[in-house]
Structure 1
Amino acid sequence: MHPTWQEVQELTQQFRNIKTEYWLSENVFTLSWWILSVTSLCLLIVWIIILDKKRIMEIITYGFFVGTIAILADIAGFWLGLWQYPITITPLHLPIEIHRLQMPIIYMLFYQYFKTWKAFTIAAMVNAFVFSFLLEPLLVWLQIYEPYHWKYTYSFIAYFVIAIVMKWLINKFKHMDQNYQ
């Protein structure tokens, strides 16, 4: 039997209703929800205060690239059943806090402060290690993140490659921009 578009719409609505009900009854105002909310807000405030305003377009562009890759990876991982996010700040299908807010901000800070390739590469490696082997297990323990067919080592590689490739891309764009002025 082939599903109809109407059936897809009905199941989507049903999922949305169940997800919202779950979020309201089991998610909002829990300890994990408060941790996500407070860390997201504090990180955003700190970032706004210490952001190098002279390089704002370059830094934010880097952050948008990192965030876009993270969003695409999250969509793919969710769709393929590699992971889920049981606790989120909002009831939206995919969470906004970790890979759309916190990760890009932390990456932008590294980009801002570690300007040479050597320093940036070391910082990216340390960041990938902390994200993969310390923060992800903490998120699992807090029931914010549930990996199914995913290993922390895969995350380490992904976090590191995203940082390096996006820096290389921004450097390429900066070089092109200088050549065409």
Structure 2
Amino acid sequence: MDKEKIADLIDENYYKIEELLDQKMQIWSDYVVFSGLWWLGVMLSIVPWILWILLRNKQSTDRILYAGFLTTILALTLDVLGDQYGFWHYRFNVIPLIPTYFPWDVTLMPVGVMFLIQIKPAVSPFLKALVFALLTSYAAEPFIHWLGIYQPTKWHHTYSVPIQFGIYLLAHYFSRRQKFQELA
């Protein structure tokens, strides 16, 4: 197939996606924004950060935020991949054109990890990772599914356990890094 035909196929696909995104925006603006589940999402996006700011270990803010940002990047990336491959999708998004659930990826996951890192720092990171993985996979995911926000299609909560376990361990590892060069 020549370059022009490939470009036409890609453009045609793009226009179909753009049309569907316009439809998604219309549904969101007509039915989702300002609904109870939308307000819940807004609160879940803001309140945990306020709690973290108030309750964080102030001497470790930078180190813990470093782990939180890593968690956010991993959560967003994996959530977008899962959505794009059709493993799950979200309803009642706070931000309509982001295919992930913003409160989960940008607030609940990173803030949860950051609190766990700073609470009882001498406890085994493997134990904390297990607790985090089990709570997120068997309590949080089923709860947001029950609310109707999260719809797994080709995914079972058990599949999330090793992923959540790994995310926590990686964040813990990064929270312990100290090899930063002084800026001149």
TM-score, normalising length from structure 1? Answer: 0.87
Which stretch of the first structure deviates more once superposed, 84-93 or 108-117?
108-117
The residue that corresponds to 2:108 in the other structure is: 102
2:122 aligned to which of 98, 116, 121: 116
The residue that corresponds to 2:26 in the other structure is: 21
The residue that corresponds to 1:141 in the other structure is: 146
The residue that corresponds to 2:81 in the other structure is: 76
Contact 2:145 2:151 in 1 (8 A): yes
- Aligned residue type for 1:31: G
After TM superposition, give the deviation of residue 117 of structure 1 in Å.
Answer: 4.9
Pairwise mapping of residues 16-95 of structure 1 onto structure 2 (< 5 A)? 16-94=21-99, 95=101
After TM superposition, give the deviation of residue 26 of structure 1 in Å.
Answer: 2.4
Consecutive unaligned residues of structure 1, counting only runs of 5 or more, are: none
Contact 1:66 1:104 in 2 (8 A): yes
Alpha-carbon deviations, 1:20-74, whole Å to 9, x = none?
1111122222222222222222111111111222111111110011111111101
After TM superposition, give the deviation of residue 4 of structure 1 in Å.
Answer: 2.7
Where 2:149 maps in the other structure, the secondary structure is coil
The residue that corresponds to 1:129 in the other structure is: 134
Consecutive unaligned residues of structure 2, counting only runs of 5 or more, are: none
- Aligned residue type for 1:143: G
CA distance in 1, matches of 2:59, 2:174: 20
Alpha-carbon deviations, 1:76-124, whole Å to 9, x = none?
1111111101111121232321112221111111112131251x33232
CA distance in 2, matches of 1:160, 1:141: 23
Identity %: 26
- Aligned residue type for 1:112: Q
Kindly report the root-mean-square deviation, in angstroms, between the aligned alpha carbons of the 2 structures.
2.0
CA distance in 2, matches of 1:170, 1:38: 27
Contact 1:114 1:123 in 2 (8 A): no
TM-score, normalising length from structure 2? Answer: 0.86
Contact 1:110 1:123 in 2 (8 A): yes
